[in-house]
Each structure stands twice: as C-alpha cells, then as structure tokens.
Structure 1
Amino acid sequence: MYKCCIFDLDGTLINSIKAIAYSCNLTLKKYNLGPIDEDTYKILVGDGYEKLIERALIHCGDNNLENYEDALVTYMEYFKIHCMHEVKAYDGIHDMLDFLKKNNIKIAVLSNKPHAQTIENVDIVFGNGYFDNISGEKTNVKRKPDPEGAIIIANELDVNPCECLYIGDTNTDMKTGIGAGMDVVGVTWGFRDRKELESFNPKYVIDHPSEIIDIVKSTVLISN
C-alpha cells in the first residue's frame, strides 16, 4: 500500500506558468529580448531557474549567454515579487489532497523552484502546515532529476521509497521518481504531453487528479 505521495509543484499541483512567464519576460526586457509566449515556457521550465534563464536567453538569440549572470540576479528580484502572479491549484487538486489527508497518507512537495518561493506558493494556495513536508531547491541537496531530494523526504517521513507515489508532469519528474525507486505517476494536465511522459514508462499516466484517489484506493481498503 502507498503511505506517502510526493508531488512536484509547478505543473502538477499548481498552474504557475503565468508567474514564471511574467517574471522571465520582465527579465528579458532589460536586455531588449523577448517576450516568450507561455506555451514555450512550458518547455523551458522544469530544471531550476538557472536552466530556465539559460534556455530563455538562447531562445531569444543570446547564444553566448552574455547576459546570463546578470539575468539570474534580475530574474530572482522579479520572481520574489511576482511568484504568486495568477497562480492557482489545478481543478480537482484540493479534493484529491483532502482525500489523502483524510486517509492518513502523508503528502509532500519536491520542487526545483527556489525553496523560499516553494514555501510561499504552497502556503498561500493550500495553507500553512497543510503538507507534511515541503522542499524546494536547496544548496545542500542535488536538484531533480537527481533522486536525492525524494529519498530525503521519504526518510524524513519514515516511509520506504517503495511505499511512495511520486507524481509529476515532466521528464525531470519521471527520472526523479524512477531513480528514487518509487512508483511514478505522470500527469497530463501540466506542462508536458503524454508522449513525453510515457517515453519513461512510469507506472501510471493520468488525466485528472481524481485518478490518484483511484490508484490509492486500489492498494488498500480505505474510506470513501
């Protein structure tokens, strides 16, 4: 049976693409670059803000990354202000999480978003103390797709990796969960398509948060 669900944040629990796009386009504007549309940002994100800035600059023609170091600082200045810009939970997420909590299944967040903004997003959208563990990007933990962060969360919550579902929306998440020895759920409502997710052979690929409830119910007799 599953005792814990570890969720990616952006594109899995919350739709934050507008905040990311807004902050990054403000950054690019400083160098007379951009803007980039939201659909393109869905491809650029997923591996931390340093990689986002690198990809955005190259996308806009700064192939030598002349503005890279300054853009990192500029982006974080904007993102600290605008990280909640039009951010909201996907439909069905609240009901699914409430079900998990009601049935004593631990819930956690593992994100490549900077830790402070991860905490801010989660606390504002879901409430302070709602999750059992929240982990954003930290200097002392390897970022996804390295499985270290997921394994640390499992250890801190006193569950075995094989008792965890890892849920995410990108190739980075598929690699993370598989590397951690967890059963992996790819979600199609986020930033990447089914084809990308299925290419990594996760145990499940789902189209709505309610399907997580079905997966958990299938492993043990629990309340409705």
Structure 2
Amino acid sequence: MKKAILFDLDGTLLNTLTDLTNAINYMLSHFNFGTMTEEGVRRLLGNGARQLVELAIGEEVSKADFETYYNFYDAYYQAHSEEATAPYEGIPEVLEAFKKRGYRLAVISNKQDAAVKQLIKRQFPGLFEFALGVTEDGIKKPDPRMVEKVLKAMDLKPNEVYLVGDSEADIETGKSAKLEVVACLWGFRDMKDLAPLKPEFIVGKPYDLLKVI
C-alpha cells in the first residue's frame, strides 16, 4: 500500500523557468557570453544548477573560471528566485487533496538544498513533511542514494512510495530506487522525451495526478 509521494520541484510543482533564465542570462551577459531564450534554458534543466551553468556557458573553461561563473549565477538566483516563480495551476489544490487522502508528501530536487527548503516553506506552507535538495556531498538524481536519504528520514520502504517528476532524471531515479513513477508533461520535457523511458504513468495536467494515484 502506498503511503507517500515524492515530488520533484522545478517543472513539477513550481514553474521556475523565467527566474532561472533571468539568472543564467545575467551571468552570461556579465561575462560576455551569448544569452539564451527560455526554451533554450528549459532543455538544459533537470540535472542541477552546476550542470545548468556548464551547459549554458557551452565551452571549455578553467575550473577557477567555472567557479566564478557558477557563484555569480548562484548569488543572483538566490536573491531573485521568486520574482516570477509560482506553482503550476492546480498544484496547490492537488496537494491539498492528497493530504486529505492521507498521503505523506515530500520534495526531492536537484536544486541546491537551501533553495529547495526556502521555496517549499514560502510557496507551500504546511504541505510537505520533508524536502531535500543537493547538499555538500553532491549526491543528486538520478543517483538512488538521494531517494534513500528521504526514505530513511521518513521511515518508508520503496514499495510504499510514488515519485512524480518531469524529467529523464526523475524517471531514472524512480526506476533505480524501485519506486513507481508518474511523469508529468507540463514541465520541462515533452512526451517524446519521457515516453521512451517507460514510467508507470504519464499525465498531462496536475489534476490528472488524482486519477492515477
């Protein structure tokens, strides 16, 4: 019997694309790289902030320069992470419905841990029991150890949990951790990206989650 649902954050619960794009372009412009469209940034998301910066730069740079670029991006994003960010339409109501059904809710994200906890506290007060982002050990999805951290903290077994996410990393994480996966199409990937990975369910709108879970 399922007891809990682990949600990805960016592209699943929150539409963070505009704020992420603005932060990336602020960094790229400052260091005289070419800027990107939102669609271009969308295709790079899902594997954490450091990879996002690396892919956005798009060329080989020294480790020292990369750290400069990344820290510049990160500082800007932390200060501007909620200017345009908001839950996708229907998400708050869906979460409330799951809570009423007795599900325990958690967030597992490749965003920095501090940012995850800040966004969850402000955007979804009282809805989530646990939230985890990337910490100093660098473990991130699709590494199943990230799920193991959450399950241990919540005293759950894999067969008691769904994972809901919008990216290849989410599906791969769920499969490697032996969770049932629900892939969603309102985020940063399309059907052609997710269907070949064969998640247990694919849903098109937030309210569809209530039909499959």
TM-score category, normalised to shorter length: over 0.9
Using the alignment, how far apart are the partners of 1:73 and 1:83 within structure 2? 15
Show structure 1 runs of 5+ residues with no match. Answer: 217-224
- After TM superposition, the structure 1 = structure 2 runs for residues 44-123 of structure 1, keeping only pairs within 5 Å, are 44-58=44-58, 63-66=59-62, 67-123=65-121
Is the partner of 2:109 in helix, strand or coil?
A: strand
- After TM superposition, the structure 1 = structure 2 runs for residues 160-199 of structure 1, keeping only pairs within 5 Å, are 160-199=157-196
Using the alignment, how far apart are the partners of 2:192 and 2:83 within structure 1? 29
2:40 aligns with 40
- Give the drift of 1:141: 5.8
1:4 aligns with 4
Instruction: Give the length in aligned residue pairs.
Output: 211
Using the alignment, how far apart are the partners of 2:16 and 2:164 within structure 1? 17
CA root-mean-square deviation:
1.2
1:207 aligns with 204
Using the alignment, how far apart are the partners of 2:109 and 2:164 within structure 1? 11
TM-score for both structures, normalised by structure 2: 0.95
Matched, 1:156 2:153: yes
Using the alignment, how far apart are the partners of 2:138 and 2:66 within structure 1? 23
- Give the drift of 1:33: 1.6
User: Where does structure 1 differ by over 6 angstroms across 4 or more consecutive aligned residues?
Assistant: none
Using the alignment, how far apart are the partners of 2:160 and 2:205 within structure 1? 22
- Give the drift of 1:65: 2.0
Using the alignment, how far apart are the partners of 2:127 and 2:104 within structure 1? 10
Q: AA paired with 2:187? A: G
- Give the drift of 1:55: 0.1
Q: What's the CA shift string for 1:119-165, capped at 9, x where partnerless? A: 111111111x3201100111236111101111221222222111111
Q: AA paired with 1:20? A: L
Using the alignment, how far apart are the partners of 2:12 and 2:180 within structure 1? 16
Q: What's the CA shift string for 1:155-188, capped at 9, x where partnerless? A: 2222211111101001011111111100001100
- Give the drift of 1:212: 1.6
1:15 aligns with 15
Using the alignment, how far apart are the partners of 1:49 and 1:141 within structure 2? 11
Contact 1:141–1:148 (CA under 8 A) maintained in structure 2? no
Matched, 1:136 2:98: no
Contact 2:24–2:53 (CA under 8 A) maintained in structure 1? yes
Contact 1:118–1:135 (CA under 8 A) maintained in structure 2? yes
TM-score for both structures, normalised by structure 1: 0.91
Contact 1:57–1:68 (CA under 8 A) maintained in structure 2? no
- Give the drift of 1:64: 1.8
Contact 2:95–2:127 (CA under 8 A) maintained in structure 1? no
Contact 1:141–1:149 (CA under 8 A) maintained in structure 2? no
